[in-house]
Amino acid sequence: MARAAQLRSTSRLRRNAGRGDGKGSLSHGHPIGNGSALDALAFLNRDHRELAELFDRYALARRTLAAPERRALALKICTALTLHARLEDELFYPTVRKNVSGVDELINDASVEHATIKGLVMSIQDHESIDGLFDAKVKVLGDYVRHHICDEQDKLFAKVRQADIDLREFGARLAERKSELAGEAGPPN
């Protein structure tokens, strides 16, 4: 039963990824252009999809990969999550809080969820043996992240979409900051 819910959640994440509002359009009703910059919500949705795909890969890896490869994949997930959370905490949430009314509770909830996610990430990074407990931590992290993503996409993004924010310009700022953060983090695992 839980696996079926997870698959539905992943399927919904993939359907909505790249579509800023979950309806197939980007800022002000414009579809995704050929190579044009993504709007902020499409940019974050793409990150969400990539995270979901990493967790899907880990679910398969639990059965097929040796411990060192599972650890490497788990650390890649941790790095991607840390980067994504910093991007949202430093740029997305403050901008949304300043420019969108009625989002304080949603952003407060998201900030608490980020703190919990950070704790799980640190626990995974510090876990020395690659055993059943390690795998369980990665699985629970994935479940938690999927829940967080769905809340964000279903509740917060709809409010952002209705606000007077230039989502294309905001998407460019997010992309630039992500590139800076990735440079600070060093080469990918």
Residue 17 is predicted with a pLDDT of: 41
160: its two tokens: 């952002």
Q: Per-residue pLDDT for 2 more than 50? A: no
Three state DSSP letters for 87-114: HHHHHHHHHHHHHCCCCHHHHHHHHHHH
From 27, 28, 8, 42, select the one nearest 153 (Cα to Cα).
42
The widest CA-to-CA distance across the chain, in whole angstroms, is 50
Report the pLDDT averaged over residues 100-124.
96
- pTM, full prediction: 0.79
pLDDT digits (tens, 9 = 90+) for 153-176: 999 999 999 999 999 999 999 999
Q: Per-residue pLDDT for 4 more than 80? A: no
38 band by pLDDT with thresholds 50, 70 and 90: confident
Residue 187 is predicted with a pLDDT of: 61
Angstrom CA distances, 14 to 104, 118, 166, stand at 27, 24, 24
CA separation for the pair 127, 131 (Å, rounded)? 9
pLDDT digits (tens, 9 = 90+) for 75-109: 999 999 999 999 999 999 999 999 999 999 999 99
The CATH number given to 2-185 is 1.20.120
CA separation for the pair 24, 2 (Å, rounded)? 28
Q: Return the amino acid letter for 55.
A: F
DSSP symbol at 38? P
Report the pLDDT averaged over residues 112-123.
96
